[in-house]
Amino acid sequence: MRNSAITRANYAIFLALLTLSGATMVWLFWHHPIKTLIGTAAVLIGLGISARLARAIEAEAVTASDLEHGERSV
């Protein structure tokens, strides 16, 4: 029973934060549309670049790991 209460509280906090975030973005976009648009675009571009870099680093790590395992088995 305690776990379900904690789960409900976590869910309520998550929804409150999501609502607050959405309301803040709407308010900012309403009062400062150009600045908000530029800031949002910058954040999304930054996340996209980070995702590409993470994929590249992950691919290099897997390749290096495969080479190491191959050398050990010989």
Biggest alpha carbon–alpha carbon distance for the chain? 66
73 pLDDT higher than 50: no
- Confidence band of 67 (pLDDT split at 50, 70, 90): low
Buried b (16+ CB within 10 A) or exposed e, 24-63: eeeeeeeeeeeebeeeeeeeeeeeeeeeeeeeeeeeeeee
**For residue 68, what pLDDT band results from cuts at 50, 70 and 90?**
low
Residue 23: band (very low, low, confident or very high) from pLDDT cuts 50, 70, 90: very high
Enter the pTM of the model: 0.58
